[in-house]
């Protein structure tokens, strides 16, 4: 009985692992805006819904929306100019730009489907409109690149794989650890892709793409010798990003 039970567990575990791989392969598609092959389990409508549902909570975590309507209008103007001048205009996403009241956290981020945020702490450090365009262009790149949706699909894959390993061989913790490392690596690749897309968007909208290099310098300075800004914490080193940004500028003729 004990030996038979062990065999059944192995069989069930392998079946779960096989299902995880089958589901990932069946959900793989080419992003029409980047040409990248991605495993995506969400529809664009679901991405938009997730972003809209999550936006209020995210705003609360950063002290709510900034009360200055003039500054919010400035962020909207730059964001909408980037969208309307690029391929982002032709996507089904609903792009909304939010200025957060947080005066201490240097950060900008995007939710699935087009909800984009920048903190006052970061905005106040930017020196001109072109630099703001660099930050928002990068975040638009995350939306268009479907990076959140890809991470969600990858997370589901590794959770299912870990479940199968746990049932089959009690190795779920090991597989989960591998999954987290892969997700972190993919995330950093996403940042470089978003920088590249941001350069494209800036050039299309008539902004000076070299100002994105100055944004990287601002982020380095904001980090100081000890504290790393949230915007930078899961991103590649700014020096590495600067080199890639220079390559993108040369590639797109900016």
When mean pLDDT is compared across 38-47, 98-107, 110-119, 184-193, the lowest value belongs to 184-193
Residue 85 has, within 13 A of its CA and on its CB side, a CA count of 19
**CB atoms closer than 10 angstroms to residue 168:** 20
Domain span at residue 114 reads 2-252
Residues 6+ apart with CB under 8 A from 170: none
Does position 80 have pLDDT exceeding 90, yes or no? yes
Count of structural domains, the chain: 1
Q: How confident is the model at residue 111, as a pLDDT?
A: 87
Q: What secondary structure does DSSP assign to 57-101, as a single string?
A: HHHHHTTSB-S-HHHHHHHHHHHHHHHHTSGGGGSS---EEEEE-
Q: State both tokens at 148.
A: 């959140």
* Maximum mean pLDDT: which of 131-145, 176-190, 214-228: 131-145
* pLDDT tens digits, one per residue of 91-101: 999 999 999 99
Residues 6+ apart with CB under 8 A from 19: 160, 164
Q: What is the DSSP letter of 235?
A: S
Q: Do residues 151 and 183 touch, judged by C-beta distance below 8 A?
A: yes
Q: What is the pTM of this model?
A: 0.74
Quick one: pLDDT band at residue 157, thresholds 50, 70, 90?
very low
Sign of dihedral through CA atoms 172, 150, 132, 53?
Answer: negative
């Amino acid at each position: 009985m004990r030996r038979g039970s062990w065999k059944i567990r192995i069989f069930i575990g392998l079946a779960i692992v096989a299902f995880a791989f089958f589901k990932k392969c069946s959900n793989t598609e080419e992003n029409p805006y980047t040409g990248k092959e991605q495993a995506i389990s969400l529809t664009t409508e679901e991405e938009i819904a997730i972003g809209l549902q999550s936006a209020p909570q995210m705003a609360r975590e950063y002290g709510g929306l900034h009360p200055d309507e003039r500054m919010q209008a400035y962020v909207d103007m730059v964001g909408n100019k980037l969208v309307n001048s690029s391929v982002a205009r032709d996507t089904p996403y609903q792009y909304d730009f939010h200025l957060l009241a947080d005066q201490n956290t240097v950060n900008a981020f995007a939710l699935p489907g087009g909800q984009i945020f920048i903190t006052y702490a970061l905005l106040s450090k930017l020196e001109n409109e072109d630099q703001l365009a660099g930050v928002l262009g990068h975040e638009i790149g995350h939306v268009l690149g479907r990076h959140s949706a890809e991470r969600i699909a990858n997370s589901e894959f590794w959770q299912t794989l870990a479940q199968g390993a746990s049932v089959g061989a009690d190795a779920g913790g090991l597989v989960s650890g591998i999954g987290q490392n892969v997700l972190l690596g993919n995330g950093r690749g996403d940042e470089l892709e978003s920088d590249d897309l941001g350069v494209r968007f800036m050039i299309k909208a008539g902004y000076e793409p070299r100002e994105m290099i100055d944004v990287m310098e601002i982020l380095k300075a904001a980090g100081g010798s000890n504290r790393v800004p949230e915007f930078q914490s899961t991103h590649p080193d700014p020096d590495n990003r600067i080199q890639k940004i220079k390559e993108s500028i040369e590639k797109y003729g900016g």
